[in-house]
Chain A
């Protein structure tokens, strides 16, 4: 029964996604007249997908073209926070979805390729040979769509898990309500991720981080699949921030054995003069490993989510490319299958991020000698 409901929700999301893409598609269709029709379609589709993958300064649910040819956007603006000789705070509605120049306290700003540049009143942007803007970039702390989704997820998680925590007190140790769904997941993270990787003695210190990061990534991944389609975990800044925390926790909780493993991996097996030539190579590799571990974490999450979204959007785009009942149905079926896989990937990536974080914490927290694992990384 539940599975059926889930399927229904998924189909609904997909249909909404299709409508979403269609609206955008129709919208941009009229703009490009110079290129041939097919090429222009291809380009706009690519641009649309790329646009979808990026963060944006306003929360745009969907856009369509009014009967009178005017473009209409449904959504709401978000605050723009800039540091440009003082704090500049204004609403993103001033940009009119990136189409106009925004003015605040006598400064002019324009969005180009999803970045805010400082311009003059007419909004000229100068480019170098590689088509990169060379205007001044103010320090940008804008509360973007991604940040909005993060805040939303944080609030949701906070409400969900505090209510779960309260239900334990109220019901004498037995959970109740919607949060109950996540109790087995919490137990799974404790029993199958934290304890085997970190060890019975020390896992408790890392549990809050592991649980938070798991649910955070999972929820954001799932949100990315909804018609809101905000690709937060597929944003490099977010994954860098997450991996940086894992990196910092790993190295700040590292025991003496952990550092000894890095700077003296061979221990007493060789006399000191034998170690020197080996250590010239070994120590840089181990040091590099410290950085590569979180780096692979951030790249993995970013690339998986990015790739998932690209595939999904491309398949939905194919529906409008074929425009025949056979091809469109086929690509609808395909995109449905891919969204099912994406649901799995959403969970899997959260699991792998948590699992590997736990594994690294396990290395860092290890007290005793572990020669057998010395060659594993």
Chain B
């Protein structure tokens, strides 16, 4: 202990304290602050770059996923559209067929009805013409035949007979 105290020199202590504090203050201002700031800034920059790269990567991934999704959706839509179209086609076809059938049926039916009515009308006309003709014939015959009474009555008799038979 005595040796230590003996060795202690106030002069060197003074110079050491003075120079060291001066060095500390000077370096703090001119060296450590700029150095630490620069290093911090650099590290901050690196960290930012890393995070932004990571973000970009994620975004890229998201974009890829989106694209895939879009593609899938488009494909599904296309498929469904094709399916719909096919269905529509089919339904249209059947509808058209049914309609055509119905129309044809209607046409046939109306044609039949027309035929029937025409036939009826024709028959009626024929009947009336036959009747007229018969009356005409009958008139002529009657004019001629009914010259004598005997024949007259004979004819009436005959006619009456015929009528009852028919």
Query: Which positions in A face B, CB cutoff 8 Å?
Result: 54-55, 81, 115, 139-144, 146-147, 150-151, 154, 157-158, 161-162, 164-166, 168-169, 173-175, 183, 186-187, 190, 204, 207-209, 211-212, 216, 235-238, 240-242, 244-245, 302
B11:A161 contact, CB within 8 angstroms: no
Q: Tell whether, in the assembled complex, residue A142 and residue B11 are in contact, meaning their CB atoms are under 8 Å apart.
A: yes
With known contacts A139-B10, A141-B10, A147-B15, A208–B32 Cβ distance under 8 A: yes
Give the interface segment out of B33-41, B60-68, B145-153: B33-41
Whole-angstrom CA separation of A146 from B11 in the bound complex: 10
Known contacts: A150-B15, A150-B16, A187-B39. The answer to whether A140 contacts B9 by CB under 8 A is: yes
Can you list 6 A-B contacts with CB-CB less than 8 angstroms, sorted by A residue number?
A81-B11, A158-B31, A209-B24, A235-B9, A237-B12, A241-B17
Q: How far is the CB of A284 from chain B (nearest CB, A)?
A: 21
- Closest CB in chain B relative to A321 CB, distance in Å: 25
**Neighbouring A residues of B15 by C-beta, 8 Å:** 141, 143-144, 146-147, 150-151
Q: Which of B53-100 contact A (CB under 8 A)?
A: none
* Contact A208 to B27, CB < 8 A, known contacts A174-B42, A183-B39: yes
Pairwise interchain contact A161-B12, C-beta atoms closer than 8 A: no
Q: Are B39 and A150 in contact (CB under 8 A)?
A: no
Residues from chain B with a CB closer than 8 A to the CB of A242 are 16, 20
Rounded to whole Å, the gap between the CB of A220 and the closest CB of chain B is 10
Q: B23 near A: Cβ within 8 Å?
A: yes
Q: Which residues of A are found within 8 Å of B10, using beta-carbon distances? A: 139-141, 237
From B9, B23, B28, B32, name the one whose CB has the most chain A CB atoms within 10 angstroms.
B9
Are A158 and B13 in contact, CB atoms less than 8 angstroms apart? Answer: no
Q: Which of A158, A164, A175, A241 contacts B20 (CB 8 A)?
A: A241
Q: Flag if A147 contacts B19 (CB, 8 Å).
A: yes
